[in-house]
Structure 1
Amino acid sequence: CIGRPMQDVAPEVRMTAPLIDLCGLPHERREAEAERVVTQGLRGAFDLEKPPLGRMFLVQVEEDDFIRPFAFHHTINDHLSMFNMEADLIECYAAELQGREPELPPPPFQQADFAVWQREHLRDGKRIAECQAWWRERLADVPDPLPIPLDRPRPAAQLYEGERRPFDLARSHVAALRELARREGVTMFAAALAVFDVLMVRLSGEERVSVGTPMSYREALVDGLLGFYLNQVPMPVDLSGNPTFREAVHRVRDAVIAAQAHNDLPYGLTVEAVHGPADREVTPPFLPFTQMVFLFLYPPKIAGMKVPGLDGRIELYRVDARRTQFDTQVALFWDGDVGVSCLWEYNRSLWNPTTIDRFKESFRILLGGALADPDARLWDLPILSAGERQAIREWSAASGVELLDRAGRPVPIGVVGTTADGERGRWLPDGRIEILGRS
């Protein structure tokens, strides 16, 4: 059937895992070469008509140090499935060493069972209409796309070249965020998302924002399965009225709970409820209502696991494949007692890395200010670094122009502000000012 995907169930799929030995290289070159080899191996495209829709290989860096990268097409996996697969592989490896059959838990159902469940679910026209009406009302006044300052005009069709910029949060801030979440009766995810939502408000000047996150379908018990069971879910929140950060945390918590209660409507039907049916022959310039994505990931059960027959423990090896599906995806990795490590993934067609570094620093500064005074109003919280404040101060003095936000504070570089004469403008990274017209 031309133009429509059809399922062809193969009786079995075999995958080889070739070894790439870097031990012949000088020690000082191995890590860089390993990263290059892994990145190149993960960036390759898949042919949906030719299984397997995945690849795996082994990179030997030292006599007792190996990296085992793997990549799978998103139609057959999600990030939770990856960790389920890892646990199964460890059990199979241990069983092979011990000369026994692997003891794998039987899956509660198969991928085809999930597809049947979802198809039956979507036949309930009344329920779908009610869900779409709920999302239509919830997203009606949300700017789409959110006007975050860009370094370049948005392409007519979305491009997927990305990059990841790592950063860390101070352990004292992580501990304080955890305590704030406990005190306010919210999850760490909701507390951290509140910081990101406030940053989106401050960068865009909008008071209603929608950030996306992938969620498991609430009615499908998919723990332990391999496959794609996530739904991209917008989480619109109204932060109008310049509330305190504490109040913002509560509003975000309520928004997350509401989104979770309605996340069984597939993302495409959610967008269709607001924008109408999509033109399948046109690549959209961005993903509606989820152009900005936020994740808070807890340690996978395999992290630090001891593998029978191997010295040492499993350590996660993160690599930048330089691809992205979104404008921005910010991922916070909760490492338990160690703290929180972060990745700010961004679309290189929209931003320069220096701009993303400013966004990262603003996130950290905003987090620190909110934790120091949760009762501060959103527009009174700090987001400028000392260096950015100094640069803007010097530019303002040289030009005789100040660009201020609605609270009368200097706006960050690239963010639209207002002059004393009522003109709208923004600072460019080189210190020039771009006047955009009157408010």
Structure 2
Amino acid sequence: MSDLPSPLSPHQERFWFLQRLDPADASYNIYWVHRLHGPLDPDALGRALDALVARHEVLRTRYPERDGVPAAETAPPAPVPVERLDVTAGGIEAAHALVRARVATPFDLAAGAPLRISLLRLGEREHVLCLVLHHIAGDGWSMRVLGGELSALYQAFADDKPSPLPPLALTHGQYAAELAAAADDGRALAYWTGHLAGVPDLELPTDLPRAAVRATTGGIHRAAVPAELMAAADRLAREHRSTAFMVLLAAYQVLLARHSGQRDFCVGTPVAGRTRLEHEGLVGCLAGTVALRADLSGEPTFHQLVDRVRAASLGAFGHQQVPFAELMRALDVARDRSRTPLFQTMFALQHAEPGGLALGGATGAFLDLDHGQAKCDLALEIWRSATGTECHLTYSDGLFTAATAERLTARYLTLLRSLLDAPDRPVHTAELLPEAERAELVARTAGGPLPAAELPTAPARFLDRARRTPDATALHGPAGDLSYAELAAQSARVADRLRAHGVGPGSVVGVFVERSEALPAALLGVWRTGAAYLPLDPQHAAARGSLALADAGAACVLVTGRTADRLPADTPVPVVHLPEPGESVPDPGRPDHLPGPEDPAYVIYTSGSTGRPKGVAVGHGALAAFLDATAARVGGAGPDACWLQLTSISFDISGLEIHLPLTTGGRLVVPTEEDVTGDGRAVVRLAADRRVTHLQATPSGWQLLLAAGFTGPQVTALAGGEALPLPLAAELRRRSGRLFNMYGPTETTIWSACWEVPEEPAAVSLGAPIPGTDLRVLDADGGLCPVGVPGELHIGGAGLALGYLGRPDLTAERFTTGADGVRRYRTGDLVRHREDGGLEFLGRLDHQVKVRGHRVELGELEALLLAAPGVRQSAAALHGDTLVGYVTGTADPADLRARLAAALPGYAVPAAVLVLDALPTTPNGKLDRKALPAPPRRDAPAAEGHAYTGRSAELHRIWCEVLGVDAVGPDEDLFDLGGHSLVIARIAARVRDRLGTDLPLDAFFDTPTIRSLGALLEVAP
């Protein structure tokens, strides 16, 4: 070894730290592989390789650690080890497998040179030569230099001549020393810190959840770029005095913006870093990466965007001398190990040089193999050559599938063509979807035609059933059974009494009736006057009911003797008592004022974001269409069907339980309020005793019924109103005959989509639209979201509500007409198309939260909590800037946090997990997220005056030495104190020397405090 170690360049320091952080990472291995045809002189090749390594000392340099600081130690020239293997038996397939293995094998930079050479013999005149180099010792330019010099040296030695290469003007050690001695006036760093301040991470939609540590393995998809596209890109570049790189990058930024929904993010691009003539023949790590900030704010045209990219590129290239590691330290962005800092995607335009390696008579072409590595989430390279242009999309297989990479490539080429064809149009209007994918998406959105219906409304269908089967049992109630004729008679009494109070077509009638036989009669009686009913649950707050009655302009409110006293004294409308069952039947010849399909059937009040509830008016045509669609998709219609009226009347899904059986000749089972509000055992008994065939509940309600012992092999179970967790879906499917996951907002009439859960579900889906329904996943600009890309769900079709009662402004805001002329409802739900054709629910748009600048989906966190042993229910919420998890069950909070830390990026791990007796719910049985308690306050101890003991005391001394401070509090964050990669390495080195424990560097990212690291040290051997 040389006596004095050479300094490392800043680029080398970064690669050294990354290798120490993850010794198994091979993503920074670079290589070339040539298949050689013709006679090969092994002695000449060996001498040429020896001369090559002797010429470039960086190829024989190792990088040990000294007190946490890397050193470069260069060995004297010596024969180069070459792995020689005979693969004639396995052929080229065996050679490919061996080469991929060599490329994917990580280097130990401290133990030996960062160079690996293999010569594989395929036959007498067939060989494969593979050279693998770690990025710390070379870059793409270096690989071209090595290929050219190897060819020249081989030819000279084969001819028994001396080396034809002139002495190097500069060695890599001298280059690194010059960088170390160079003074920086700070202007370049100031440019970058100002230019990149506040830039958010690029949140691309992924196929797999982002893990706590970035995956470094990956794949590559290749596709040809049509020559006419490149010609058009060149023309537009000349028009803007820019380059094809800038035009192609601008198109890539549009692709990323359309997939992420962001207008501000960074894309990395490599720069050669060879600014002087003597750099051209130098082998070493000179190349760097610059972060180009995208700006798609406003509605730029492609012309305008190209100009923005040109300006950003020129500014970045003009300040490229700032080392990336130094920039990361200045911006404090190096602490998230789940992604590359500053940018998560890269773009490059490469020019492939003609020809290949020539070793005398043995010549051959470069073999471009998929080496299975990924430096970032996604990277697009455009390769131009004399024979054509290809795009190579490299992807992390910890985030994306091969199918997604193929679709992304096709979308890029489609988008590029659209942007180049019309560069004067706003970029968000450019066509993103290839024709085949667009056609597939449109086909997915339609639920098919509705079955033909004889009668247009639910009340007409009920009365028809009462005439045709008057003696059939209509319902089983707490006080006994009612036939269809008896129920029709009771509803006629209600209608007669309401007419006496002036109720008629166009009226709204409040129904404040307990769960009993009287409730269906009241609803049907309101309809027989031509009015719409406003359901009010007597178990809910009466003040809210009064607000709804006043807002709806109700003509009156129906009550019974049991509910009249629950109304507040200042009820704003007349109170009408339901007639008693024994009262005389009104004139059977009295005509009903049956409503038409366009008349409102009911008004349901839902919570408003401003605190003011809003009344959703649903038409009779929409309700009838929904009942027909549900019967066709789920069943539950006809004399053999029996439904349990389990849901609160103020929750719109109760309309399915009541109206589908009563309009098709089935039976309705009405429990008592005491049955429903108990622990679930009474409901389970009632369902079994009455031979219920269809039972509907929210996931929270199903949790209660399962805990009460529900088992119903004859029951078709419906779950809806909340996201259905996978563990619950699997358990409920095992205990029921059939299970449907139902989805739909009140504004589109109860349910709009459904998915029949298979016996062994692997993931939960919303399924497909029911007949007569149209589902579209749209981006912020109203464009179709591709497969895998989240967007807001818009629903159209026969189930669309009339709107919000008395709120034309809100109706116009939420019920919109798209470019295709179809009226749809904006749900506010975030979903995406899955590859299998279903829809995946991702959460509410208003449930996305930001934690330290990162976007976190509460639904993803809740799903991981629910999957942990001992957890029955889960929830998550953000209190201020603190992310909190909530569970019920027997799980230990510390174990849960550790489990989450192993699966999620650090920012997505909740600061606390609270175990509750039960999750708070709304009166309709849904999770009441606003009622989740705040975490208990914990004040961090001050830095001074804390008494450390055991190994933590020595750890504290080491921190103070390295950070240059007098004291550090036990819960102070290392990164907040100025920690960075080299600080971490120095602390780890001193811990190893003084305490005999080799702390992995990733521990500092996961547990960056003295308290947490001290706990690791106490249990370490």
TM-score (norm: length of structure 2): 0.40
User: Residue 315 of structure 1: SS of its match in structure 2?
Assistant: strand
Cα RMSD after superposing both structures: 2.1
AA at the equivalent of 1:158: R
Which structure has greater strand proportion?
A: 2
Q: Which residue of 2 aligns with 1:54?
A: 115
1:429 aligns with 2:482: no
Aligned residue among 339, 361, 375 for 1:325: 375
Aligned residue among 117, 121, 125 for 2:178: 117
Within 5 Å, give how 1:290-369 maps onto structure 2: 290-300=343-353, 303-304=354-355, 307=358, 309-310=360-361, 313-336=363-386, 338-369=387-418
**Whose relative contact order is higher, 1 or 2, with alpha carbons under 8 Å and at least 6 apart?**
1
AA at the equivalent of 1:287: T
1:169 aligns with 2:169: no
AA at the equivalent of 1:290: F
**Cα pair distance change 1:197/1:111, threshold 3 Å:** same
Q: How many residues align?
A: 422
Partners of 1:324 and 1:346 within 8 A in 2: yes
Render the CA deviation track for 1:16-36: whole Å, top value 9, x for unaligned.
Answer: 3333333344xxxx2322211
Counterpart-to-counterpart distance in 1, 2:210 and 2:79: 42
Aligned residue among 326, 332, 347 for 1:275: 332
TM-aligned CA deviation for residue 39 of structure 1: 0.6
Render the CA deviation track for 1:129-172: whole Å, top value 9, x for unaligned.
Answer: x333322221224221x011011221112221111122221122
Q: Which residue of 1 aligns with 2:788?
A: 414
1:139 aligns with 2:544: no
Partners of 1:54 and 1:70 within 8 A in 2: yes
AA at the equivalent of 1:388: E
Q: Provide structure 1 residue ranges, at least 5 long, that are not aligned to the other structure.
A: none
1:373 aligns with 2:422: yes
**Cα pair distance change 1:235/1:50, threshold 3 Å:** same
1:240 aligns with 2:297: yes
1:383 aligns with 2:432: yes
Aligned residue among 216, 225, 244 for 2:282: 225
**Cα pair distance change 1:253/1:13, threshold 3 Å:** farther
TM-score (norm: length of structure 1): 0.90
Partners of 1:413 and 1:428 within 8 A in 2: yes
Partners of 2:357 and 2:366 within 8 A in 1: no
**Cα pair distance change 1:105/1:179, threshold 3 Å:** farther
**Cα pair distance change 1:192/1:118, threshold 3 Å:** same
Aligned residue among 271, 275, 284 for 2:337: 284
Q: Which residue of 2 aligns with 1:68?
A: 129
Counterpart-to-counterpart distance in 2, 1:47 and 1:131: 34
Partners of 1:428 and 1:434 within 8 A in 2: no
Of stretches 59-68 and 37-46 in structure 1, the one that deviates more from structure 2 is: 59-68
Q: Which residue of 2 aligns with 1:148?
A: 204
Partners of 1:43 and 1:321 within 8 A in 2: yes
User: Residue 73 of structure 2: SS of its match in structure 1?
Assistant: coil
User: Residue 75 of structure 1: SS of its match in structure 2?
Assistant: helix
Counterpart-to-counterpart distance in 2, 1:333 and 1:13: 37
User: Residue 402 of structure 1: SS of its match in structure 2?
Assistant: strand
Partners of 2:145 and 2:283 within 8 A in 1: yes
Partners of 2:829 and 2:844 within 8 A in 1: yes
Partners of 2:219 and 2:394 within 8 A in 1: yes
Of stretches 414-423 and 377-386 in structure 1, the one that deviates more from structure 2 is: 414-423
Render the CA deviation track for 1:311-339: whole Å, top value 9, x for unaligned.
Answer: 6x542211122112211121211112x11
Partners of 1:14 and 1:52 within 8 A in 2: no
TM-aligned CA deviation for residue 234 of structure 1: 0.4
Render the CA deviation track for 1:252-303: whole Å, top value 9, x for unaligned.
Answer: 1111111101111111222222226x46xxx721111221011111123xx3
**Cα pair distance change 1:66/1:177, threshold 3 Å:** farther
TM-aligned CA deviation for residue 114 of structure 1: 1.5
User: Residue 45 of structure 1: SS of its match in structure 2?
Assistant: coil
Counterpart-to-counterpart distance in 2, 1:22 and 1:218: 39
Q: Which residue of 1 aligns with 2:940?
A: none
**Cα pair distance change 1:288/1:349, threshold 3 Å:** same
Render the CA deviation track for 1:192-240: whole Å, top value 9, x for unaligned.
Answer: 1111111111111111221001213365552111000011210112121
Aligned residue among 241, 258, 268 for 1:212: 268
TM-aligned CA deviation for residue 98 of structure 1: 2.1
Which has the larger Rg? 2
Partners of 2:199 and 2:266 within 8 A in 1: yes
**Cα pair distance change 1:218/1:53, threshold 3 Å:** closer
**Identity, % of aligned positions:** 27
Q: Which residue of 2 aligns with 1:266?
A: 323
Counterpart-to-counterpart distance in 2, 1:175 and 1:219: 30
Deviating beyond 6 angstroms after TM superposition, the runs of 4 or more aligned structure 1 residues are: none
Counterpart-to-counterpart distance in 2, 1:423 and 1:109: 62
Counterpart-to-counterpart distance in 2, 1:412 and 1:105: 56
AA at the equivalent of 1:437: R
Counterpart-to-counterpart distance in 2, 1:227 and 1:423: 53
Partners of 2:267 and 2:291 within 8 A in 1: yes
Render the CA deviation track for 1:322-376: whole Å, top value 9, x for unaligned.
Answer: 112211121211112x111222111111111111111111111111112222222
User: Residue 69 of structure 1: SS of its match in structure 2?
Assistant: strand
AA at the equivalent of 1:429: E
Counterpart-to-counterpart distance in 2, 1:81 and 1:90: 14
**Cα pair distance change 1:141/1:381, threshold 3 Å:** farther
User: Residue 442 of structure 2: SS of its match in structure 1?
Assistant: helix
TM-aligned CA deviation for residue 67 of structure 1: 2.2
TM-aligned CA deviation for residue 394 of structure 1: 2.3
1:178 aligns with 2:234: yes
**Cα pair distance change 1:374/1:273, threshold 3 Å:** same
Render the CA deviation track for 1:380-403: whole Å, top value 9, x for unaligned.
Answer: 111112232122212221323212
Aligned residue among 106, 126, 139 for 1:78: 139
Partners of 1:13 and 1:52 within 8 A in 2: no
1:8 aligns with 2:76: no
**Cα pair distance change 1:438/1:154, threshold 3 Å:** closer
Partners of 1:157 and 1:284 within 8 A in 2: yes
Aligned residue among 89, 103, 109 for 1:42: 103
AA at the equivalent of 2:240: E
Counterpart-to-counterpart distance in 1, 2:124 and 2:301: 55
Counterpart-to-counterpart distance in 1, 2:220 and 2:136: 23
Counterpart-to-counterpart distance in 2, 1:8 and 1:308: 31
**Cα pair distance change 1:253/1:218, threshold 3 Å:** farther
1:95 aligns with 2:156: yes
**Cα pair distance change 1:438/1:53, threshold 3 Å:** closer
Counterpart-to-counterpart distance in 2, 1:143 and 1:388: 30
